[in-house]
Amino acid sequence: MKILILSRKPSLYSTRRLKEAGEARGHEVRVVDYLRCYMDITSHRPKVMYQGHPLTGDAVIPRIGASYTFYGTAVVRQFEMMNTFSVNESQAISRSRDKLRSLQILAREGIGLPVTGFAHSTKDVDGLLKLVGGAPLVVKLIEGTQGIGVVLAETNQAAGSVIEAFRGLSANILVQEFIKEAGGSDIRAIVIGDKVVSAMKRTAQAGEFRSNLHRGGSASKVKLTPEERMTAVRSAKKLGLGFAGVDMLRSNHGPVVMEVNSSPGLEGSEGATGIDIAGKVIELIEKRHADATIHKTRSNIRH
In the CATH hierarchy, which fold is given to the domain comprising 115-178? Dna Ligase; domain 1 (3.30.1490)
Structure confidence at residue 210 (pLDDT) = 59
In which residue ranges of the chain is pLDDT below 70? Answer: 143-147, 205-216, 293-303
Domain 2-95 falls under CATH 3.40.50.20 = yes
CB 122 within 8 A of CB 163: yes
pLDDT given at position 219: 85
Predicted local distance difference test score (pLDDT) of residue 128: 85
Whole-angstrom Cα distance, residue 297 to residue 303?
Answer: 10
Question: What is the rounded average pLDDT for all residues in the chain?
Answer: 89
d(CA 269, CA 15): 14
Instruction: Map out the domains of the chain as residue ranges.
Output: 2-95, 115-178, 181-280
**What is the model's pLDDT at position 249?**
95
pTM of the predicted model, to two decimals? 0.87
Question: What is the predicted pLDDT for the residue at 154?
Answer: 87
> Regarding beta strands 59-62 and 2-6, do their DSSP bridges make them parallel or antiparallel, or are they unpaired?
parallel
User: What type of residue sits at position 13?
Assistant: Y
Q: Give the amino acid at 39.
A: M
Q: What is the pLDDT of residue 146?
A: 58
CATH architecture of 181-280: 2-Layer Sandwich (3.30)
Q: What is the pLDDT of residue 294?
A: 62
Please report, as a single letter, which amino acid is at residue 286. E
Q: What is the bridge-based pairing of β-strands 254-261 and 243-251?
A: antiparallel
Longest C-alpha distance within the chain, in Å? Answer: 70
